[in-house]
Amino acid sequence: HSPELATVPDANYDLALFRWGLETLIASAERLEIEEPLLPRWREVLANLTPFPADSTGLWVGRDLPWRTSHRHYSHLLAIYPLALITPETPANRALIEASLRTWEKDPSAFRGYSFTGAASMYAMLGDGDAALERLNRFLDFPKYNEPNTFYAEAGPVIETPLSAATSIQEFFLQSWGGALRVFPAIPASWPDAAFDRLRGDGAFLVSAVRRGGRT
pLDDT given at position 158: 83
Q: What is the mean pLDDT of residues 157-165?
A: 89
Instruction: Return the minimum-mean-pLDDT range out of 88-92, 107-111, 145-149, 195-199.
Output: 145-149
Q: Which residue has the higher pLDDT, 2 or 17?
A: 17
| Average pLDDT value for residue range 77-102 | 97
How many Å apart are CA 177 and CA 198, to the nearest integer? 18
Residue 4 Rama label (left phi>0; alpha psi -120 to 50; beta)? left
- Give the pLDDT confidence of 3-55 residue by residue, as tens digits: 888 899 999 999 999 999 999 999 999 999 999 999 999 999 999 999 999 99
Q: What letters, b where the CB count within 10 A reaches 16 and e where it falls short, cover 129-156?
A: bebbbebbebbeebeeebeeeeebeeee
Element (H, E) at 202: none
Task: Give the separation between CA 17 and CA 24, rounded to whole angstroms.
Answer: 10
Tell me the average pLDDT across 86-96.
97
pLDDT for residue 159? 86
Secondary structure element (H or E) that encloses residue 199, with its range: strand 194-201
- For residue 152, which phi and psi values (nearest 5 degrees)? -135, 135
User: What is the C-alpha R_g of the chain?
Assistant: 18
177-185 average pLDDT score: 95
Give the CA angle between residues 123, 88, 5 to the nearest 5°: 60
Residues 76-108 as b/e (b if ≥16 CB within 10 A, e otherwise) read bbbbbbbbebbbbeeeeebebbbbbbebbbeee
How many helices (DSSP H) and strands (DSSP E) are in the chain? 6, 6
The reported pTM is 0.93
- State yes or no: pLDDT of 214 exceeds 80: yes
Residue 148 has pLDDT above 90, yes or no: no
Q: How would residue 192 be classed by pLDDT, with cut points 50, 70 and 90?
A: very high
Percentage of the residues of the chain whose pLDDT score is greater than 70: 100
DSSP helix/strand/coil, 93: helix
Q: How far is residue 183's CA from residue 187's CA, in Å, rounded to a whole number?
A: 10
Q: Residue 123: pLDDT band by 50, 70, 90 thresholds? A: very high
User: Above 90 in pLDDT, residue 145?
Assistant: no
